Structure formats: C-alpha cells, structure tokens
Amino acid sequence: MKQIYIVLAAMMLLCLAPMPYGYFMLVRFVTMMVFGASAYNYYSAGKASLAWTFVGLALLFQPFFKFALGRVIWNVVDVLVAIFLIILVVREREAGKENA
C-alpha cells in the first residue's frame, strides 16, 4: 500500500494544475477505492483511529454525492491529504525498520 499512497499523493498534488474534469473524477474514484480498502486493512489490523480516518476520507472523496467545496478548498484538502499520506508512509517505513 505504501507505493499506492505515494502515487495517490502525486495524483492529488497534480489536481492543483488545470486538468480536465475527467481527471478529477478519476482521482475521486481511485481515492474512494484506496481509502475504502485502507479502512478495511487498518480495521483488521486493530488500528481503529486510522480506519475511521480512512472511512471519512473515502466518504469525502466518493464521486457519487459530491461535496461542493469550491476549487480553492478542494486544493487545500488535496494538499493536506497528500501530506497525510506521505507522513503515513514515512511512519510505517520507520516502524517497519524498528521491528526488523
């Protein structure tokens, strides 16, 4: 999942550029799927707080009932979520090194 988080963070940062509407819909669909799977994985691993965080993110990014936040707020959300994903990857990598 670490590589997927990095790719997803890059996709979200690319949303800052002027892209066609289809790209934003693709990002919303992919993030919903990844965040839903992540919620399940973290819940199965006993990490309820991260599981609920990913449930919330999956609901926020789902493409079926859109939240009309405006371009500027969505840009801020995209950047914050990208930073969150990168921090999560770094922390999990460090935790993996400590357990090895």
Distance CA 53, CA 72 (A): 22
Per-residue pLDDT of the chain (100 residues; tens, 9 = 90+): 788 999 999 999 999 999 898 998 899 999 999 999 999 999 999 999 999 999 999 999 888 887 788 889 989 999 999 999 999 999 888 887 776 5
Distance CA 6, CA 28 (A): 16
Residues 6+ apart with CB under 8 A from 69: 77
CB-CB neighbours of 61 under 10 Å: 24
pTM of the predicted structure, to 2 decimals:
0.85
